[in-house]
Structure 1
Amino acid sequence: MLSNKLYTLALVLGAALFDIRGVGAAPASQGSWNSGLSQVYETTDRLPLPNLGNVIAHDPNIVQHDDHYYLFKGGHHVPIFKADHLSGPWVQIGTVLDANSIIDVGNRSRPWAPTTVFKDGTFYCYYTLSSPGSRDSAIGVATTTTLDGSPWKDHGAVIRTGLGEGSDVFPFTETNAIDASFITDQSSGKSYLNYGSFWHNIWQIPLSDDLLSIEAPKKPDAVQLTFMPDQHIRPEEGSWMSYHDGYYYTWFSRGKCCKFNPEKGGGFPDRGHEYNIRVGRSRDIRGPFVDKDGDSLLKGGGTIVYASNHGVVYAPGGLGVLAGNDSSPDILYYHYLNASIGFKDGDARLGWNVLNYQDGWPEVTSNSTVANANAAPILGLPSWLTILIGAHGQTSR
């Protein structure tokens, strides 16, 4: 079996070669890499390295539809990419918005953290408008019936916080309307929107049947999913909810997500306080949710599923879960920073791992074999490196 150190070297070299081919920023110098690592890493080799998505993405969202993968990410008018495999190649096919959002708040031209779902023949893309550190935020929604590059219809705001219509209603008076995710109750068919960050952390609200607005907007039936009590700053955001074998899983990112600046000697949090991916579960879609140790997510709980590892993967988060079926596993995907490339927000890469469930708790594995994504080469690598990485995957399963 190949050693983890050898595989780490292959990942570092492969990512650097991938960037040199023009897909991303040039690799950081050896000096800045070592400087960054010495500042931020208390790393582990226990977790497997990511399978490479071979695309730059921050807060990625992936939909599997008609034997293809569609990637949505924050950026100018919310770019959409298409691929046959999770490892790419990804080809941009259009944007969700064909102009600035009709919501007059924040970054109208560059929404972030999109979440797209397909229901009853329609795609719904929930997107975030805000600015860093602000609670003057909105979650908007746009729809289409095809993913062929045709225009979407922008329906405007679903919820607003800070300012704007409906922001004077609890819990919008205390929460932050960013990072939407979507879940449907397996029994009732009722759909919910999960959202939130920092301030009062993550909440869930019922959606109306058309999925374009919330139910009972003057008195929404809101429940809180996560909270970090007794802390002035509560860095939890980017929630996702999945369902597996009788349990609902609340996923979220905890820690500092971005604005790292090793070149200027700052911007890093204390070691272990960078983005990491956590989870709790409940039999009820509305909670309460507890972690593997039985600690409530409302009392700061959350089992770490993925975090910085191998001295090269830093601050993974902004996650989603692709649901599997009888013939394919669930997939955890996320963005992460490769320390050999850089720590800037624009350096974030798509990574993914197969999930295995032990006693009902999800764990990432080194498996890279998934339906429709089991034969794609790692782009930009010479054949010996592709074989090296492939061999590690084969011998580690």
Structure 2
Amino acid sequence: MHLLFLLPITTLVALVGARPASQSLTPTLSQVYETTDTIPLPNIGNLQVHDPNVVFWDDHYYLFKGGWHVPYFKAANMSGPWTQVGTVLDGESVIHQGNRSRPWAPTTVERNGTFYCYYTLSTHGSRNSAIGIATSTKLDGSPWKDHGAVIRTGEGNGSDVWPFTISNAIDASFIRDNATGKAYLNYGSYWHDIWQIPLTDDWLSIESPAKPDAVQLSFIPGQTFRPEEGSWMSYHDGYYYVWFSHGKCCSFDVRGFPVRGDEYNIRVGRSRTVRGPFVDRDGKLLLDGGGTIVYASNHGLVYAPGGLGVMPGNSSTPDILYYHYLNTSIGFTDEQAQLGYNYLKYDNGWPTVLDGIAIKSSAATISRLPGWWSLMILSGLWLCMLS
């Protein structure tokens, strides 16, 4: 049960005002941007990032992001400050496919002191893609070992095997069966949406590569445009949750803006088993185009949130949904995407985003302000800025 309490108004204003000016949420209104206030504002991560992945290790947060050689950062708190530790790759990937110098969408997991980083090589609008894997026993900037490709689509070894003949090898995520410990890789995007394949015991390759035991997790039937990608799978209280980004992503400054609501938003479905089938809150199969929206553009400030992950909580901290988003007061280039995060609660087993600004008490209990307090304070600050 989360503790709710009120602080003096001066303390609340100080909390909001402590955000760096370059990262402030300054209201901007447009016909393009969703101005709803029914969706909570994010907690600000104070880092420019695209497709973030966060690992909690040794009392610190380590954030991996798409970029040159897969950079990663360290912080004592999700809100930073973040310090770059190093990069996963020393140079170009050993995989001769896609953009070898600037991989996308890393996902890093740990087992017995070894870290496994799955990364994507591709180009926009292409299915000529690969998911690679690198390992390390340290998160201190030491060199990682690049093991090469786990799967390929479009071209290369194994790309002629179903379902790699129809899917797109990008946006890897990782899950273990809570009962058996079996590891699975989730991946995919627009072409035939999201898939899952079992990994070998060493997590470096897929089982039965000539005939993989693949299952499809999501699909939009009856359409040629199927904007689902960036999957993540989490586990909570007996359910496996498939999260994904739905809608148009990226380069809005070049490609223009889609119709309101067609930009990135974060959706989810759940199942009692790791292999599905998964349904949304209305009971619609994800394979039939289902998916419950958990987070989307809001307040005229937050635009196209996606590229998400979910970090499991503990006895004092709820699960955390983190993602990148565009702050409409900063800009719309991919390089201007910001780190945001929200704590989660579960309503009859369905994840929802907590309202208000999350803070931690001296008793290490995550607390939150009622939504009307947060909105009142932000509105007051806005009025002060305009005066």
The alpha-carbon deviation at position 367 of structure 1 amounts to: 5.0
Paired residue secondary structure (2:125)? coil
Cα distance, 1:346–1:372 mapped onto 2, change above 3 Å: farther
Matches of 1:279 and 1:352, distance apart in 2? 16
> Corresponding residue for 1:17?
21
Runs of 4+ in 1 over 6 A off after TM superposition: 13-16, 371-375
Match of 1:201 in 2: 193
Deviation at 1:372, TM superposition (A): 11
Q: Take 2:167 and 2:120, find their aligned partners in 1: how far apart are those partners? A: 14
Matched, 1:339 2:296: no
Mapping 1:285-324, distance limit 5 Å? 285-324=274-313
Given that 1:86 and 1:373 are in contact with CA atoms closer than 8 Å, whether structure 2 keeps it comes out as: no
1:108 to 95, 100, 118: 100
After superposition, the Cα gap between the structure-2 partners of 1:77 and 1:357, relative to the gap in structure 1 and judged at 3 Å, is same
Relative distance call for 1:140 and 1:72 in structure 2 (3 A) is: same
Select between 154-163 and 318-327 the one with higher mean Cα deviation: 318-327
Q: Report matched runs for 1:367-386 at 5 Å.
A: 368-369=358-359
Change (3 A) 1:233 1:250: same
Question: Which of 58, 61, 74 is matched with 1:82 structurally?
Answer: 74
1:232 aligns with 2:229: no
* 3-state SS, counterpart of residue 38 of structure 1: coil
Q: Structure 1, residues 76-122: CA drift from partner, whole Å, max 9, x if none?
A: 10001000000000000100001110000111000010000001221
Question: What is the rounded CA distance, in whole Å, between the counterparts of 2:363 and 2:340 in structure 1?
Answer: 13
Aligned counterpart, 2:342: 353
RMSD: 2.7
Give the TM-score normalised by the residue count of structure 2. 0.87
Give the drift of 1:41: 2.1
Shift of 1:374: 7.3
* Amino acid corresponding to residue 196 of structure 2 in structure 1: Q
| Aligned-residue offset at 1:344 | 1.1
Distance 1:206 1:90 in 2: 34
Check the 8 A contact 2:23/2:44 in 1, yes or no.
no
Residue in 2 that maps onto 1:327: 316
Letter in 1 for 2:153: T
Deviation at 1:153?
0.1
CA distance in 2, matches of 1:16, 1:284: 43
Write out per-residue CA displacement over residues 253-307 of structure 1, whole angstroms, 9 at most, x where no aligned residue.
000111102xx7x611111000000000000100000000000000110000000
Letter in 1 for 2:107: T
1:63 to 1:143, Cα distance in 2 relative to 1, 3 A: same
In 2, Cα distance between the equivalents of 1:253 and 1:218? 30
SS of match in other structure, 2:164: coil
Contact 2:105/2:120 (8 A) holds in 1: yes
The 10-residue stretch of structure 1 (296-305 or 361-370) with the greater mean CA deviation from structure 2: 361-370
Q: Distance in 2 between matches of 1:154 and 1:104?
A: 13
Q: Deviations over 1:303-354 (max 9, x none)?
A: 0000000110000000000001222210000000000111111110000000
Change in Cα spacing, 1:293 to 1:322, as seen in structure 2 (3 Å) is same
Aligned pair count reads: 359
- 8 Å CA contact 2:23–2:46 kept in 1: the answer is no
Structure 1's 291 and 178: CA in aligned 2 closer, same or farther, altered over 3 A? Answer: same
Contact 1:368 1:374 in 2 (8 A): no
- The runs of 5 or more residues in structure 1 that have no matched partner are 21-26, 376-384, 393-397
When residues 259 and 368 of structure 1 are mapped into structure 2, their CA distance, relative to the original with a 3 A threshold, is: same
Aligned pair partner of 2:262 in 263, 273, 286 = 273
Describe the shift of the 1:370–1:102 C-alpha distance in structure 2 as closer, same or farther (beyond 3 A).
farther
Give me the identity figure in percent.
Answer: 69
> Do the aligned partners of residues 374 and 275 (structure 1) sit closer, same or farther apart at CA in structure 2, a change above 3 Å counting?
farther
Contact 1:328–1:371 (CA under 8 A) maintained in structure 2: no
